[in-house]
Chain A
Amino acid sequence: MLDFTDSLPNEDITLEVGDCMRLQFGQLMMEIERQHFEWTISHFYWQQPVGKDYRVYGEVTHLRYVLNDTDNHINISPRLADRPVVSRPHSPINLMHRGHIRVYVSTPLSLQVSIAGQQLLELPSVRLSDTWFGERTGPGELCYADSTRARLNAHDLKAGSYKVSTPIDIRNMSGKALRVDRINVPLPLLSLYRSTANPDAYSSAALTVTLGDGPADTEIEIEDFETGKVAGKESFTLITAARKPHRKQLLHRALNLFLG
């Protein structure tokens, strides 16, 4: 029995017929077993009620995948969430006129399980609730909701290895102070990287948001890291490219939704 806790294998795992592996990643517990021409994946989520020292376990889901290929390699890789995450700082940030900050927002990763090049399933490491992000209940976007400390220093992040941090530069070039009480992180537009120094540390591409007085002065940029190149003080390796390409329309939409 192979066992992984809050750490993912860097390479494919080899499982012989009858072998089993167990993985705990965030709140996700997963067990994978290989049979003849069949893989069985069981998973469930646990929760710790606020102020309690015990865990509540959710219902177990059993899934069976039948394959003609008897490949004994299974690949488990991290991915960014499939929808944007609306993160609320524990206390709102007021960014003064011509102010500039870099905040680090951490969000839970998802896990993608593939066998013989075929994706079997993708599961989030933490089950986040849904939220609607938009000015009104008509136009807007369905996102995941999360809370963040929106730390100003990357070293202060206490993110577990099931979390990824997104560096966000916010420049307030408008004539008034900006109140940031929620941040929409457009994860489907971002690539995922792993730190070369610490394989359990993940980062997404960086975002730079410049907010001016009008739409013409306001823009959002996505800064991808080059593999091996030092970004800040760390060097990163690309794991997965963005789910959606950085098209201008999508960037514009992300900007409209960035701060609500």
Chain B
Amino acid sequence: MDYLYLLASEEHILGNVVRALLLALTGWLAARLSARLANRMSDSLISTHHRALLCKAVFWSILLLFMASALYQLGFKLGLLLGTAGIVSVALGFAAQTSASNLISGLFVLSEENFQIGDIITVAGTTGEVLSIDLLSVKLRTFDNLFVRIPNETMIKSEVRTLTKFPIRRFDLNVGIAYRSDINLARQVLMDVARRNPLCLDEPEPMVVLQGFNNSSIDILFAVWSTKESFLALRNSMQENVKKAFDEAGIEIPFPHVTFYTGADCSPLPIRLMDKD
């Protein structure tokens, strides 16, 4: 009799385990399918960033529901489980402060929406394309094709520059001209360079600002605008165009000169002509 009871009990436990496993498996499949469906349905409605968030929310919500049901099948009481989870989370909070900090920072990073997947950002000296924005970290791909993981705590504490937030960008070129060069001519040449460069936007208008008188040059800021897509091409072409245009117009770009001081008497250095023969 005891044997039969034990057998029935074992079968009951086994049945529960199988049911729980089935629930977990179904939940995982249902969560994946629902996330995919949400991704497909929201394709043209929301941004990539929001779509990724929606998919994660759908996936984890469904999976958690099924996991809770699976645990219930195994005989766990959910109320007790939640209470235990509270205690465990406090213990974990002390043990894994960094992860917890990243997790909370991640919520702020996600809610602030300073950048989206696909944007180019600079953070803590690293510039790259945002591949994903997760709860613990932001993943970047740098221009030299390196994968960089930046913890969300760093994202919150550091200055984050989004280079592709706005459709147009300004390129500032600092250039110096010699004191004997004509400032008006230099201004005219720079404006002409901007007008001839097809990547340079007509508006906002290019700007030439005199920055000041330096040790060996008159410093000029030449600011031109381009679309964010053609910014790099504009930066390259503009520097080349300015150098060529200055050369053609006879405007000198000065560079530092070195003078030898030969001592208190300052007598000239002796020069000896050497004959090859």
For residue B225, CB closer than 8 A to chain A, the reply is yes
A186-213 CB contact bits vs B (8 Å, 1 = yes)? 0000000000000000000000000000
Size category of the binding interface on chain A: 10 to 19
Please measure, in the bound complex, the distance between the C-alpha atom of A142 and the C-alpha atom of B229, giving whole angstroms.
Answer: 12
Inter-subunit contact A132/B201 (CB<8 Å)? yes
A144 to chain B: closest residue by CB = B202
Q: Which 10 A-B pairs have the closest CB atoms?
A: A131-B202, A145-B202, A131-B203, A130-B201, A132-B168, A131-B201, A132-B203, A132-B201, A129-B202, A138-B166
Question: Which residues of chain B have C-beta atoms less than 8 A from A130's C-beta?
Answer: 198-199, 201-202, 226-227
For residue B200, CB closer than 8 A to chain A, the reply is yes
A-B contact pairs, 15 of them (CB 8 A): A86-B202, A129-B201, A129-B202, A130-B198, A130-B199, A130-B201, A130-B202, A130-B226, A132-B167, A132-B168, A132-B204, A137-B166, A137-B168, A142-B167, A145-B203
Please measure, in the bound complex, the distance between the C-alpha atom of A127 and the C-alpha atom of B198, giving whole angstroms.
Answer: 8
Given contacts A132-B167, A133-B203, 20 further A-B contacts (CB under 8 A): A86-B203, A127-B198, A129-B200, A129-B201, A130-B199, A130-B201, A130-B202, A130-B226, A130-B227, A131-B201, A131-B202, A131-B203, A132-B168, A132-B203, A132-B225, A137-B204, A137-B225, A138-B166, A145-B201, A145-B203
CB distance from A256 to the nearest CB of B (A): 16
Interface of B: prevailing SS: loop
Chain B residues within CB distance 8 Å of chain A: 166-168, 170, 198-204, 225-227
Question: Which residues of chain B have C-beta atoms less than 8 A from A129's C-beta?
Answer: 198, 200-202
Please measure, in the bound complex, the distance between the C-alpha atom of A133 and the C-alpha atom of B170, giving whole angstroms.
Answer: 15
B165 to chain A: closest residue by CB = A138
CB distance from B199 to the nearest CB of A (A): 8
B194 to chain A: closest residue by CB = A129
Question: Which residues of chain A have C-beta atoms less than 8 A from B227's C-beta?
Answer: 130, 142
Please measure, in the bound complex, the distance between the C-alpha atom of A138 and the C-alpha atom of B169, giving whole angstroms.
Answer: 10
Question: Which residues of chain A have C-beta atoms less than 8 A from B225's C-beta?
Answer: 132, 137
Please measure, in the bound complex, the distance between the C-alpha atom of A140 and the C-alpha atom of B227, giving whole angstroms.
Answer: 12
B169 to chain A: closest residue by CB = A137
B166 to chain A: closest residue by CB = A138
Question: Which residues of chain B have C-beta atoms less than 8 A from A132's C-beta?
Answer: 167-168, 201, 203-204, 225
Question: Which residues of chain B have C-beta atoms less than 8 A from A133's C-beta?
Answer: 203
Please measure, in the bound complex, the distance between the C-alpha atom of A137 and the C-alpha atom of B201, giving whole angstroms.
Answer: 12
CB distance from A258 to the nearest CB of B (A): 15
Question: Which residues of chain A have C-beta atoms less than 8 A from B199's C-beta?
Answer: 130
Question: Which residues of chain A have C-beta atoms less than 8 A from B204's C-beta?
Answer: 132, 137
CB distance from B168 to the nearest CB of A (A): 5
Question: Which residues of chain A have C-beta atoms less than 8 A from B200's C-beta?
Answer: 129
